[in-house]
């Protein structure tokens, strides 16, 4: 399913948008494009009526975490930021215009749907992932756990590896094209006080051979 709600003409995405520039200058898509995405969501105890489903980041569910994400959809900040970075690279409208939070179709929706639309748009334009660099900013939950059942003395369990696998699967690219980093906010402001979670993403897309 794709959004099908964006009229490209309404955003100047038509042949005449280049103004006086010669059309031949714009005849070919560039070999590479770069986009940036950012997302932030409030987080609150599960008793809050605005909290939807389980706490999900990068497609990984933190079922035992005591807080939930306040959002119209599932509020996955990594997926939302990646989607916006791809839309930005393609000079498309932002995720909120593709999937408005006033549209009941997206209430509680898994953000996989948004990722699938971002991939469809990218593929349709003849691009694929060059590389994606994710920076998750969250005071909690912890991404690396030494006390996880799958951790070993030599190698703690790292949730980010599963996030990379999820992103690669949805965007149909090798895992070595994706990096996920995580940091706290040093207990500063809403993110540092565990009242919010945020994410930045930079994406490079390249022309398919």
pLDDT in tens, 18-33: 456 777 766 778 999 9
Return all residues near 111 (Cβ < 8 A) that are at least 6 apart: 56, 59, 73, 74, 75, 76, 79, 80, 83
More reliable by pLDDT, 42 or 9: 42
The structure tokens 């200058």 sit at 25
So what's the pLDDT on residue 9?
47
So what's the pLDDT on residue 8?
52
How would DSSP label each residue in 113-146?
Answer: HHHHHHHHHHHHTTEEEEEEEEEEE-SSS-SEES
Residue of 112, 130, 131, 136 whose CA lies nearest to 178: 131
pLDDT in tens, 125-177: 999 999 999 999 999 999 988 888 887 888 888 999 999 999 999 999 999 99
pLDDT in tens, 64-83: 899 989 888 888 999 999 99
Q: How wide is the angle at C-alpha 185 spanned by C-alphas 180 and 189, nearest 5°?
A: 140
pLDDT higher than 60, residue 5: no
Return all residues near 51 (Cβ < 8 A) that are at least 6 apart: 44, 45, 67, 68, 69, 70
What angle, 0 to 180 degrees and rounded to 10, lies between the N-to-C axes of helices 77-89 and 159-171? 40
């Amino acid at each position: 399913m794709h959004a099908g709600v964006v009229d490209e003409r309404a955003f100047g995405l038509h042949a005449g948008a280049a103004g006086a520039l010669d059309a031949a200058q714009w005849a070919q898509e560039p070999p590479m494009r770069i986009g940036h995405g950012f997302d932030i969501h409030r987080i609150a105890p599960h008793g809050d009526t605005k909290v939807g489903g389980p706490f999900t980041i990068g497609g990984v569910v933190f079922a035992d975490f005591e807080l939930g994400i306040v959002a119209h959809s599932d509020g996955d900040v990594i997926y939302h930021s990646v989607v916006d970075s791809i839309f930005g690279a393609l000079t498309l409208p932002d995720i909120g215009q593709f999937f408005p939070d006033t549209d009941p179709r997206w209430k509680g929706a898994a953000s996989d749907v948004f990722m699938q639309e971002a991939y469809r748009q990218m593929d349709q334009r003849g691009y694929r992932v060059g590389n994606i660099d994710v920076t998750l900013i969250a005071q909690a939950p912890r991404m690396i756990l030494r006390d996880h059942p799958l951790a070993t003395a030599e190698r703690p369990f790292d949730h980010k590896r599963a996030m990379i696998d999820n992103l690669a699967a949805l965007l149909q690219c090798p895992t070595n094209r994706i990096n996920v980093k995580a940091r706290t906010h040093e207990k500063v402001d809403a993110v540092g006080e565990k009242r919010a979670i945020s994410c930045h993403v930079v994406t490079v897309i390249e022309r398919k051979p």
